[in-house]
Structure formats: C-alpha cells, structure tokens
C-alpha cells in the first residue's frame, strides 16, 4: 500500500525543521522516492544527466542511428517493396495494414519489431551457417532460408527459381539491373523503418528501446523533482496561495496531490523491488552496474511493450482507436461540398471560323506518331531558317518512341522519311495483309454496293468544320458533312458548346476528323455493323435488338476513331489550373511563338471565356464551383493572353477576386505563379528550400520519399524559389503593373507579404494546413529572411540548387522533355530557361518547347492543357480488353492488329528506338538510385513510351491487353508472318518484374513507386487544394490491375516465378479486403468513384481466388444493388470522391435522370464478375445502356469521369465508348439471352 499522505497539520508542524535540515529546501521528513540499493545508482550520480540507465539509452540510440545511416545506403528507390520471396506461414497478426502507419500505431502495435528482428537474426545465422530452417511449401519443395518468415520486410535471397522439374526458371540469368529490384533490398516493419532495407528491424528495435529508456528516465526525473518542488510549495506557500479556498477543500487538494505524486513515484521507485536480491548483483562495480542497467531495461521494455499492446487491443475492441493503414482512404468527410457551378442558361458558344482556319484555308488537324514528329521538326526548322533537318538536330529536338504522340497542328502533312517505318507504312501493310479487295475494312461481311454518289461523299474535307462553327455561317453543310457531323456529335444538337447543359466537351472536332479519314480510306463506307445508317433513307431510328448487337455497334463505331498508329486519342482536359501555368511560363520566357502561336493563344482565350461561370469565377476544374485558386490563376492567364481589363467578362472575374479578399486569399500553387510573373513578392510564398535535397537518405522527411508527382513539382519549385527567379522585365512591363493593382484589395505597395503566407479562402481549403506545418513554415520564414542564418544558408543553397538542376536535367532526359506532368513541365522549362541565362535558343529550352504541343488539346470548347500528354495507353489497353470480352477480336482484325503494334511500340525502354534515347542511360542502378526512380524497363505508361514513367496499373492493363491479343488467331498469324513485330517472353517477364517489385509491404500496389514515406507526411501537405498527395498510397485500382495481370500471366506462363506470383496475388487480395468500407464498397481514387472502386474490388478478389459467394463480394453486390436507380442505371459525379460519400444524385445535372452510362457500365461489370443472382437488376442495367446508345453505336458525353488527388475532376471522353461496350460484352457472356428486352 502507498504510505498515507501527511495532512496539513503535520506539514505545518514540521515545516521549519524541514527547511533547516535540507539544504535544497525540500522536506526530508515527507515520503520520498525509495529505491533498492543496487538500483539507486541507475537513477542518480554526481551528474544527474549521466546516470547509467540514461547512458544506456543514449548509447543504444547513437548506435542505432549510426547503423541506420550506414544501412540507408539501401536506395530510396527500393523502399517499401514487398520483396520477391514470400513467407507462407506468417502468423503474427499485424494490426496496421498500411505502409507508413500512424504515430499511435507505432507506440501501440510496433512491438512486433522485436519478433521480426529476432527472426531476422535467426535467418541470417542460418544463412551464414548454410542451414535450412524453412518448411516444405505447397509443392513439396523445401523453402529457401527465410522466405516463410517475414519477407514482407525484405528478408530475401537471390536464389535461382526452379520449377517442379528442378530446372532453372526462364529468368535464371537475371541481370544485375533486375536483381537489384528483385530482392537485394527490402522494406521494414509495417512501414516504420522502410528506409533501412532488410536490416530495418534490427535497427528499429534498439531505437524503440532507447526511446522507452530515455522517456522512462526523463519522466522519472521529472516526477521526483516535482515531488520535492510541490512539497516545498505546499509547506511554504499553500496558506497564502490558497487562502481563498475553504480549509477542508484546501486539505483535500493537498491530499490528492500527494496521492498522485506518490502513485507515480511508486511505479518508478517501487516497481524494481522484485529484482532485488534474486536478480541484481550486489556489487557496485562497473560491470555490475552495466548488468544491472541491462536487466532493468529488459524488464522495463518487456513490461511496457506488453502493456502498450494490451491497451491497443482494448482500444480497438471498444472502438476508441481502430488502427487503419494509411492506404485506407477513410471518409465520409464531415464538411461536404455544398456549392454548385452555374453558367448562364442557354448561352451557346461557337468557335469562330477564323480560329479554325489558317493560311491557305488549312484547318487544325490532329497529327500522331511520326506525322507529329515531322510536323514539329518542320516548324522548328522553318523558324530557324533551315531547309533540311540534320541528324544532330533531330537528336537534340526529338527523342524517344514516336508511337502514341499526338498534337494539333495547322501545317500540312510533311513528306515521310523513306528510311523510317512509320504508322502509315504499318497501316498500309496491315490493310494489304488483312483486308480482301473491295471489302469492308472492318467486319467479315461484304458491304452492299454503295449508291453512285457515295464514293465522293467524303472527299470534301474542307466542309467539315464550317457548319459547326457558327449558325450564321454563310457556308451551308453539304449532305456529305452532315453525316460526319451526325456521327461525331455525341448526341448533341446543334453543334455548339453550352456549359450550362454540360461543361464537358464530347470531342466533336477530333472525332469528325477521324471519321472522315476512315471513310476516305474505305471508299465512303461505314463498318458493316452500322452501315444501315447510310442505307436507310427514311431517317428512322433502328435500335439494336440484342445485347451482342449493341456491343458490335459500339465496337464498330469506336473502330473508326482509332489512330493510324493503333491507339485511341481523346480529350484528357478538365483542370483549369494547368494551362495558366504554361501561359505564365510562355510570358516569362518572352512569349515565343514556337511555344504558343497566335492561333493557339486565341483558342486558349476562347476556352477560358466559355468556361467562366455566372459569378465571374472559374472552378478548379470544369465541374467545380468557382474557387479562388481557379479564378485567380485563370484571370492571370486571361490578361497575359491579351484580354483587356475593361472587357465586361474580365471585369466580372476581377470583381469575384476582390469580393473574396484579393489574390492573397488564393492557394499556394497560384501564389507561386504570381511570384514568378512578378505580381507577388516572394515573401508572400512559404519557403521551398532546395537544400532539403541534401539531407541524408535516412532522414524521415527526405523529399525522395514523396509521391513522384508531388516530388517532381516541388523540385523545380525549390530551384526557382531558391534562385528567387522572377520575370526579368516585371518592373517595366505595363501589364504586370496593371495586374499588381487589379488583383489585390489594397495597394500593392502597402501589403505586408509575410502576413499573407497562410491566408487561403475557405473555398480553396480542401486540406487545411495543420498547426505543426504552419509552425514549420514560420521557422523556415525566419531561416529565409533573417541575416543570422545567411552564412549557413548561402553555404548550402548553392549545392541544393546544383542538385535540383541536375535532377531536373535527368527528369527531362528520362522523359524526352515531356516530363511527368503539365505542372512540372512548365516549371522545368522555366528552370531550364533560367539556367541558360534566359537564352531562348538554348538546346534544352528548344527541346522543351518541342514537347509543349503534346499537352494541348483542341475541342469544341477551345484549346486546353491536358492533365498528361494524353491517356493513350490507358484507354487503348481497356479498349482491347473490352473487344476481347465481347469476342470480337477477329471480327475487327485491323483494329486488333493495330493495337498489338501500338502496345509493342509503347512498352517502356523495350524497343530499339527507346533504347537509343538518353532515357535508357538513366536506367542504370546508380542513376535510378541517385534520382529516386523505380525500375522502368518493361513497364507500360499511361500515355506514351517516350513519357518514360511506368505505372503499376498501366503496366497491368497493358500486359493484359497483350495477353488478350495472344488469343486472336489473326494477330498470332500476323506475328508469325512478320507482318507484326513480336513481343517475346522476356519482355513480358520484364513487365511482371515491374509489377512484382512495385508491390508494397501492405500487399497492395501504389502508382509509380513503392510507398517510401509515412502516414504523417500528410500532416505536412502544403497544397491546401489537394488531398493525400504526399506519398504513393496503395490503391484498389492499382492493386486490382496488377493482381489480375499477374493472375492472367500465370495462366499462360505457369513456370515463371510461379511462387512469387502466387504469393503476390494472395497478398494483394488480402490488402483489397482490408480497405473495403463497412458498407461493402471500395473508394475509387482515380474516377467517380464507388462504382469504379467496386468494379476493381470485386474483379480483383475474384482473380485472387475469392469465391463469388464470399462475404466481401456479396457485401459489395448488396451495396451496388442498393444504389441502382429506378431507370436501371447508376450515377455519380466528382463529389463522391470529394466528399468520400456516394453522390446519390451525382448525375442529375449531366446524366439521364440521375444515371450515367459510364457508372452504369462499371456497376454492371462488377456485378457480372461476381455472377450476381439478381438477373433482373442486371437486365435493367443492360437495357439502360442500350436505351442510351446512339444509333451509330456511340454514347452521349455526360459528366466528368476521372478524378485525381481527391478533389479535382478530369475528362476521359473515351470512357463513354469503352466501358459500355465492355459491360455489354461481359454481361452477354455471363447471362446470355436472359438480358435481352422482354417482349
């Protein structure tokens, strides 16, 4: 029992004696901390800081940090990997599913690091001694050392994999490049020590022990000191201090204080008594004290670990704290979006004829592949006054694989290089080999003979655009162009852009061009399955009668849109904040016409004007309500493009900005562009120190751990901020002076910029910056602005800027100057311009400018900047899988063979052209480690091979597309006869290697890289407008695409790394179940939203071996069925992602009575994959898709489909064609004729 606390009388009677007897002023007669004699020296010494126990903690910490610094030579590029070898009987129940985890998870559940470190040491000892301690696997083979223990943190060995016959597997001669990413390094304990590689647990365990010991010593010393101080206080001052309290209450407070203090001291002081006599040595020698300290520390740590684990389990059981991995998206958000966008009703916008017509009546056209390359070279050589293009110039300006490239140009097609096999040669070869003379180019049926005037109907391409430009146009549409317009209209009449009805374009201009080209190549004939449109003169609608017929019509229409090189192009715009960044860069660099030509400027201005909302603002994206982020940066772009300040629509936008407090209330990204152009002082932007890149790799918040998109944006930001680069003529430019007065609610000269750094409008503040991050930013502000730090800052900033420049140069070359995305494309270009001393003719700057058109897209709403250089490979991979599931690969032989050719050319660093580019030199291990790049060779991109960034789900879908085409006799025969280039097995093995090495320790897959960071990184998110951007999380979409690709590959190649593949699939399935929401749904992070996530979730689990009757799958089916609308469809919009809650009425504005064809297709694909028993619900959904299909096989363009970073929508015009076809084909194959309309 605790000793009874002294009452007031006892204290007062002994106060004078206490003061005389104690030189320190404490009362020695009162209860004090009492320790066993052998333990007393552990907590006391002549120097209170240098006690043996404290020194032990310091020693462990220093040794661990030194070891971590040494072991951090495991590159950042390999952090977070699951490793290729898998444990089979791992029984430790991890309470945290996500890589990185939370701080609380580390304290409550991190104790399993001791088990893992013990297993690690045991594994290494057995490996060193040549012993085998693994059991037999399911094939009866003996496991390699350690593979059944804890390969989830990288304890792996590079053994040759053998098949059941004992023969070496196909990849026994793995190169060093592949070996590095197949297990040379691993990861850590549930994400907490992922910077330490396979040795992480051994390092983390003593770090954790030292933290416990130091905390114990510090807390113990604090309470002992507090006991003495409180006793002194109560003796001397309680009467005077608490005289306003009643005597009884005062005595009770004193008694309570002593009870609390003595209770805590009992834990620290009396706890060790059980060690006395029996365990602790009696001598006080150095060895004895060290032994004593170690024994005490061991008992202490064991007790604390058990106590923390028990507390954590109790918290989980009663729901106080239920740990979830960082990859669990959470939700719903407590503060949902309530504002809606609004445009002036009935205001139709037409593209002026002069914007679509160039010199000599040449119109805009979309050039692809080699045609696009030739166009770029011709434009730049014309500007340089050259007649011929030298080989050196070609290498400087354009590198990488041309296939997939697409740009809009007003130049006529340039002559082909006879020495280069282009997409035109491919198209001609395939048509000659596959299409019989005088037959239709697609389908197996012969086209009935056309009417006499039909072959000439589509030769007059000059009539194509005029009718849809302006209703008052004098040029009337011909009969020929009317049909093209009908096919390309996407169900919209008349041809005009009305954002109040739908702010999404439906790609009328591009689709009209492709349909016209198709008809020219095929003697004016449509594909067989939609040829009735030409034959029927009554104009009567002829709907599809069966599900299979509807699917055929969909594929037939979409086949006309296929580009000559085999991919499908489309509008990938939507965000409003991308193009203004490019315009600022163009203005800063002197407004070069080669970068943005006058016709492009006019089309950009038109785009910004038509998307302005009724309140005068612009949203962050086309379906977003107006935000300060979107409005400020779009207003800046409008003025830089030449709009006058007194124009009514410009004034209206300025009024919106001033009403919300001026440009100081916009988000940090917009402020950065304002600083760069000279419309804001750099003191108004929070610091982006480039010297962060000089930190050691083991540093917890090293920039190399960030998600690559975030990392590659803040890299050039750091360079530009560190250089304080500003538009050189800002002080003299009249326009900049005007903008300084227009954008702010107070005079520009009077603004205290430092006080504006944290200001942001509530409408922009999706992810409010936490208090700790604001504190850190304030500290950095002191660092940037106070002279006391200048010597150190000057010493390190130069090195930081040098590394940033080197890193940006590497990014430019690895991506052939395309760069990972549009934001860092513009920033890298500005940085290159600055590094070249503002020389616009510098080769690097010129190379950058050649790739600007890759990001621009033209549609009926004007010219915009896309969120990438296109979505070519992503859309094409989905499309060919849809055709495959419809059973139509050989029904459309030209389509299938062209897709094969495109996918073969698009595999990253796998063709002769791509391997001859500078990007291939950066694939070496040293370069990848230096610049934080994951292995790239063998992956497939989102867009083009030249882009150079492989993604897990794009690699998975690309691999599945190739595997699907291997089932086509037409494709197989074309490969055998050398009409098509082959994709040998080694290239498929490279793709599998990319997928396997991208699997995270939580079992899921992220996007471009493994999860390298921690969950608390999000507390340092400085963007305000985006959510969950700091690290690369594991997503249900990436996990399903990767898992299913491995499963389908395993079916065709069962002996290649079979155990690794099987283990990866199992782990992936477990991860997908771990992030399923309570209502049975999955949150879709890259599209709108829950129907999308549910499709990926169900299909992934089915491929992972989960039976369709299992609880997770049935739970998801019930969720989907509960969301079906009365008309049979499903509908969501971007607010599902934004709010993390199902948007029940999401498609009310831009869909059909709350439903949309894309969401309906996703829901049907999920339900049919699960073999849902509610056939009537499936039938109603299928009939809804068929009822929405246009007679030509197209579907109408509805609301925005894509989303990124939780809060921003993005357009995929291809989705309205691909997914309805896919859903129809899958449902028809699963349910047969039961889905056809009841008579």
For tokens 């409408």, the residue is 763
Helix 708-723 vs helix 668-677: crossing angle, to nearest 10: 40
Closest CA to 1113 of 1083, 1071, 1076: 1076
* Count of positions (residues) in the chain: 1239
Does residue 54 have a pLDDT over 90?
no
Tell me the average pLDDT of the chain: 80
For tokens 């793995």, the residue is 174
Cβ 1077 vs Cβ 1111: under 8 Å: no
| % of the chain residues with pLDDT over 90 | 56
Question: How far is it, in rounded angstroms, from Cα 567 to Cα 899?
Answer: 6
Which one has a higher pLDDT value, 204 or 988?
Answer: 988
Closest CA to 570 of 868, 266, 335: 868
Quote the tokens at residue 295: 């024994």
Quote the tokens at residue 1191: 């007679």
- Helix ranges (DSSP H) in 1008-1089: 1036-1052, 1058-1074
Question: How far is it, in rounded angstroms, from Cα 636 to Cα 677?
Answer: 10
Does residue 85 have a pLDDT over 50?
no
Sign of CA dihedral 1103, 1105, 1107, 1111: negative
CA distances from 1113 to 34, 1105, 1182 (A): 61, 12, 21
Cis peptide upstream of residue 494 (ω within 30 degrees of 0) = yes
pLDDT in tens, 868-879: 999 999 999 999
Q: How many CB atoms lie within 10 A of CB 86?
A: 23
Question: How far is it, in rounded angstroms, from Cα 840 to Cα 590?
Answer: 8
Query: At CA 14, angle to CA 9 and CA 16, rounded to 5?
Result: 125
The pLDDT of residue 233 is 66
Enumerate residues 6+ apart whose C-beta is below 8 A from 1096.
Answer: 1036, 1037, 1039, 1040, 1041, 1082, 1084
Sign of CA dihedral 924, 925, 928, 930: negative
Of the candidate ranges 266-270, 298-302, 323-327, 508-512, the one whose mean pLDDT is the lowest: 266-270
The pLDDT of residue 196 is 45
Q: How many CB atoms lie within 10 A of CB 274?
A: 11
pLDDT in tens, 421-442: 666 667 777 777 776 644 444 4
Question: How far is it, in rounded angstroms, from Cα 952 to Cα 1196?
Answer: 31
CA distances from 617 to 346, 622, 629 (A): 18, 11, 10
| pTM confidence score | 0.82
The pLDDT of residue 430 is 78
Does residue 1121 have a pLDDT over 90?
yes
Cβ 1227 vs Cβ 551: under 8 Å: no
pLDDT in tens, 808-842: 999 999 999 999 999 999 999 999 999 999 999 99
Binned at pLDDT 50, 70 and 90, residue 200 comes out as low
CA distances from 537 to 541, 542, 593, 1189 (A): 11, 12, 48, 20
Does residue 723 have a pLDDT over 70?
yes
Q: What does DSSP assign to residue 76?
A: G
pLDDT in tens, 413-426: 877 665 566 666 67
Question: How far is it, in rounded angstroms, from Cα 291 to Cα 660?
Answer: 67
Q: How many CB atoms lie within 10 A of CB 1107?
A: 11
**Burial annotation 478-505 (CB, 10 A radius, 16+ → b, else e):** bebbebbbbbbbbbbeebbbbbbebbbb
Q: Residues 953, 1002, 1028, 1236: which is the catalytic one?
A: 953
For the chain, what are the domain ranges?
Answer: 8-53+206-318, 73-201, 578-856, 1079-1239
Cβ 400 vs Cβ 919: under 8 Å: yes
Closest CA to 1010 of 1018, 1020, 1000: 1000
Question: How far is it, in rounded angstroms, from Cα 309 to Cα 297?
Answer: 18
Cβ 1020 vs Cβ 100: under 8 Å: no
Give me the half-sphere count of Cα atoms (radius 13 Å) on the Cβ side of residue 290. 4
Cβ 1231 vs Cβ 890: under 8 Å: no
Binned at pLDDT 50, 70 and 90, residue 212 comes out as confident
Quote the tokens at residue 492: 């919209």
Closest CA to 531 of 460, 454, 479: 454
Segment 484-498 mean pLDDT: 83
Segment 763-786 mean pLDDT: 92
Of the candidate ranges 468-477, 880-889, 1034-1043, the one whose mean pLDDT is the lowest: 468-477
Give me the half-sphere count of Cα atoms (radius 13 Å) on the Cβ side of residue 473. 18
- Helix ranges (DSSP H) in 694-789: 708-723, 734-742, 771-785
Binned at pLDDT 50, 70 and 90, residue 76 comes out as low
Q: How many CB atoms lie within 10 A of CB 841?
A: 9
Cβ 1003 vs Cβ 1067: under 8 Å: yes
The pLDDT of residue 415 is 75
- Structural domain 1079-1239, CATH architecture: Alpha/alpha barrel (1.50)
Enumerate residues 6+ apart whose C-beta is below 8 A from 438.
Answer: none
Of the candidate ranges 29-33, 409-413, 578-582, 812-816, the one whose mean pLDDT is the lowest: 29-33
Closest CA to 707 of 972, 1027, 1008: 1008
Question: How far is it, in rounded angstroms, from Cα 1026 to Cα 1012?
Answer: 20
Give me the half-sphere count of Cα atoms (radius 13 Å) on the Cβ side of residue 674. 35
For tokens 């503060």, the residue is 335
Question: How far is it, in rounded angstroms, from Cα 1078 to Cα 1095?
Answer: 17
Question: How far is it, in rounded angstroms, from Cα 358 to Cα 370?
Answer: 22
Cβ 43 vs Cβ 221: under 8 Å: yes
Of the candidate ranges 25-39, 244-258, 496-510, the one whose mean pLDDT is the lowest: 25-39
Closest CA to 948 of 1078, 816, 1057, 835: 816
> Phi-psi bin for 711: left (phi > 0), alpha (psi -120 to 50), beta?
alpha
CA–centroid distance for 654 within its chain: 33
Q: What does DSSP assign to residue 451?
A: P
Cβ 934 vs Cβ 1008: under 8 Å: yes
Question: How far is it, in rounded angstroms, from Cα 1033 to Cα 1093?
Answer: 15
What is the DSSP code string of 220-238?
HHHHHHHHHHHHHHHHHHH
Verify whether residue 794 is a known catalytic residue: no
pLDDT in tens, 1044-1102: 999 999 999 999 999 999 999 999 999 999 899 999 999 999 999 999 999 999 999 99
| Top-level class of domain 578-856 | mainly alpha
pLDDT in tens, 372-415: 999 999 888 877 665 454 444 455 578 999 999 999 999 888 77
Beta bridge partners of 1147: 1154
**Burial annotation 734-749 (CB, 10 A radius, 16+ → b, else e):** eebeebbebbbeeebe
Q: Matching CATH topology for 578-856 and 1079-1239?
A: yes
The pLDDT of residue 1016 is 79
Binned at pLDDT 50, 70 and 90, residue 252 comes out as confident
The pLDDT of residue 224 is 63
């Amino acid at each position: 029992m605790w000793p009874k606390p002294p009452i007031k009388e006892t204290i007062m009677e002994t106060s004078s004696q206490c003061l005389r007897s104690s030189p320190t002023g404490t009362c020695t007669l009162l209860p004090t901390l009492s320790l066993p004699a052998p333990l007393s020296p552990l907590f006391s010494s002549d120097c209170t800081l240098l006690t043996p126990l404290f020194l032990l903690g310091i020693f462990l910490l220093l040794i661990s940090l030194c070891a971590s610094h040494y072991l951090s030579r495991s590159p950042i590029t390999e952090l977070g990997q699951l490793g290729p070898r898998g444990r089979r009987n791992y029984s430790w129940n991890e309470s945290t599913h996500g890589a990185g985890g939370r701080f609380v998870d580390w304290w409550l559940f991190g104790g399993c690091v001791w088990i893992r470190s013990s297993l690690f040491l045991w594994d290494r000892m057995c490996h060193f001694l040549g012993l085998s301690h693994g059991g037999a696997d399911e094939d009866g083979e003996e496991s390699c050392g350690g593979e059944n223990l804890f390969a989830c943190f990288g304890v792996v060995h590079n053994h040759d994999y053998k098949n059941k016959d004992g023969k070496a597997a196909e990849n026994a001669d793995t190169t060093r490049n592949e070996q590095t990413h197949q297990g040379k390094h691993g990861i850590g304990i549930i994400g907490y020590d992922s910077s330490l590689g396979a040795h992480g647990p051994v390092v983390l365990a003593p770090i954790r022990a030292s933290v416990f010991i130091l905390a114990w010593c510090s807390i113990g010393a604090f309470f002992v000191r507090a006991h003495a101080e409180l006793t002194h206080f109560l003796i001397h001052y309680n009467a005077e201090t608490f005289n306003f309290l009643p005597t009884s209450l005062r005595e009770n407070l004193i008694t309570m204080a002593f009870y609390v203090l003595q209770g805590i001291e009992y834990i620290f002081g009396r706890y060790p008594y059980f060690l006395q006599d029996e365990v602790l040595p009696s001598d006080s020698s150095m060895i004895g004290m060290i032994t004593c300290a170690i024994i005490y520390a061991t008992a202490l740590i064991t007790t604390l670990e058990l106590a923390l684990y028990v507390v954590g389990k109790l918290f989980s059981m009663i729901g106080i704290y239920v740990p979830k991995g960082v990859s669990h998206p959470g939700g719903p958000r407590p503060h949902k979006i309530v504002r809606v966008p609004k445009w002036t009703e009935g205001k139709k916008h037409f593209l002026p004829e002069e914007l679509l017509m160039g010199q000599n009546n040449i119109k805009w056209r979309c050039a692809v592949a080699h045609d696009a390359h030739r166009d770029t070279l011709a434009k730049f050589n014309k500007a340089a006054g050259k007649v011929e293009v030298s080989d050196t110039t070609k290498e400087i300006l354009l590198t990488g694989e041309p296939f997939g490239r697409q740009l809009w140009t007003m130049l006529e097609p340039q002559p082909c290089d006879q020495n280069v096999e282009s997409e035109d040669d491919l198209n001609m070869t395939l048509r000659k080999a596959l299409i019989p003379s005088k037959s239709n180019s697609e389908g197996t049926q012969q086209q009935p003979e056309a009417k006499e005037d039909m072959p000439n109907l589509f030769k007059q391409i000059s009539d194509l655009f005029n009718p849809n430009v302006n209703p008052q146009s004098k040029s009337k549409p011909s009969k020929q162009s009317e049909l093209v317009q009908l096919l390309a209209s996407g169900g919209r009449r008349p041809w005009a852009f009305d954002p109040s009805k739908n702010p999404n374009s439906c790609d009328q201009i591009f689709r009209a061009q492709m349909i016209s080209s198709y008809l020219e190549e095929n003697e004016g004939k449509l594909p067989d399955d939609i040829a009735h449109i030409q034959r029927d003169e009554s104009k009567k609608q002829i709907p599809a009668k069966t599900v299979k017929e509807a699917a055929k019509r969909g594929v037939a229409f979409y086949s006309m849109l296929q580009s000559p090189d085999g991919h499908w192009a489309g509008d990938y715009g939507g965000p409003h904040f991308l193009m203004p960044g490019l315009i600022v860069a163009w203005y800063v660099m002197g407004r070069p016409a080669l970068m943005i030509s006058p016709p492009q400027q006019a089309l950009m201005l038109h785009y910004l004007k038509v998307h302005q909302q009724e309140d005068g603002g612009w949203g962050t994206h086309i379906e977003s309500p107006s935000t300060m982020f979107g409005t400020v940066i779009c207003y800046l772009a409008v003025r830089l493009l030449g709009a006058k300040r007194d124009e009514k629509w410009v004034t209206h936008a300025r009024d919106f900005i001033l009403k919300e407090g001026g440009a100081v209330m916009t988000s940090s990204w917009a402020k950065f562009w304002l600083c760069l152009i000279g419309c804001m002082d750099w003191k108004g932007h929070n610091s982006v120190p480039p010297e962060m890149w000089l930190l050691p790799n083991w540093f917890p918040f090293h920039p190399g751990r960030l998600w690559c998109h975030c990392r590659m944006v803040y890299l050039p930001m750091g360079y530009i901020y560190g250089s304080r680069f500003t538009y050189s003529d800002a002080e003299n430019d009249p326009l900049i002076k005007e903008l300084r007065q227009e954008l702010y609610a107070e005079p520009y000269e009077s603004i205290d910029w430092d006080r504006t750094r944290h200001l942001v409008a509530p409408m922009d503040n999706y992810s409010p910056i936490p208090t700790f991050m604001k504190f850190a930013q304030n500290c950095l502000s002191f660092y940037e602005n106070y002279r006391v730090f200048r010597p150190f800052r000057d010493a390190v900033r130069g090195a930081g800027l040098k590394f940033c420049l080197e890193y940006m140069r590497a990014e430019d070359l690895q991506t052939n100057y395309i760069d990972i995305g549009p934001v860092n494309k513009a920033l890298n270009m500005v940085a290159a311009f600055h590094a070249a001393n503002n020389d616009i003719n510098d080769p690097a700057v010129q190379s950058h400018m050649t790739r600007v058109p890759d990001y621009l897209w033209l549609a009926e709403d004007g010219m915009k900047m896309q969120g990438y250089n296109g979505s070519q490979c992503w859309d094409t991979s989905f499309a060919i899988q849809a055709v495959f599931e419809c059973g139509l690969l050989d029904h459309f032989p030209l389509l299938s063979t062209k897709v094969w050719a495109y996918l073969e050319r698009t595999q990253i660093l796998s063709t002769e052209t791509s391997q001859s580019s500078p990007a291939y030199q950066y694939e070496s291990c040293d370069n990848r480690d230096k610049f934080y790049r994951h292995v790239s060779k063998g992956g497939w991109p989102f867009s083009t091979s030249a882009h150079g960034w492989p993604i897990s789900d794009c690699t998975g879908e690309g691999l599945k597309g190739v595997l699907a085409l291997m089932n086509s006799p037409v494709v197989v025969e074309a490969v055998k006869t050398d009409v098509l280039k082959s994709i040998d097995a080694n290239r498929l093995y490279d793709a599998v290697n990319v997928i396997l090495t991208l699997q995270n320790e939580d079992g899921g897959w992220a996007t471009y890289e493994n999860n390298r960071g921690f969950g608390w990184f999000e507390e340092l998110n400085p963007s305000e407008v985006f959510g969950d951007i700091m690290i690369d999380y594991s997503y249900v979409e990436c996990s399903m695409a990767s898992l299913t690709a491995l499963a389908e590959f395993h079916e065709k190649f069962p002996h290649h790394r079979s155990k690794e593949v099987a283990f990866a699939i199992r782990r992936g399935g477990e991860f997908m179940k771990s992030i399923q929401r309570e209502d049975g749904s999955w949150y879709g992070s890259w599209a709108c939203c829950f129907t999308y996530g549910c499709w990926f979730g169900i299909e992934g689990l089915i491929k992972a071996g989960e039976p369709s009757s299992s609880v997770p799958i049935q739970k998801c089916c019930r969720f989907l069925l509960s969301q079906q609308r009365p008309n049979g469809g499903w509908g969501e919009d971007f607010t599902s992602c934004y709010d993390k809650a199902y948007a029940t009425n999401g498609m009310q504005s831009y869909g059909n009575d709350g439903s949309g064809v894309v969401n309906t297709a996703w829901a049907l694909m999920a339900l049919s994959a699960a073999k849902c028993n509610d056939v009537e619900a499936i039938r109603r959904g299928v009939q809804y898709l068929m009822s929405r299909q246009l007679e030509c096989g197209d579907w109408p363009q509805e609301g925005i489909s894509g989303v990124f970073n939780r809060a921003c929508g993005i357009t995929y015009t291809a989705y309205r064609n691909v997914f309805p076809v896919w859903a129809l084909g899958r449902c028809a194959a699963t349910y047969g004729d039961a889905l056809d309309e009841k008579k």
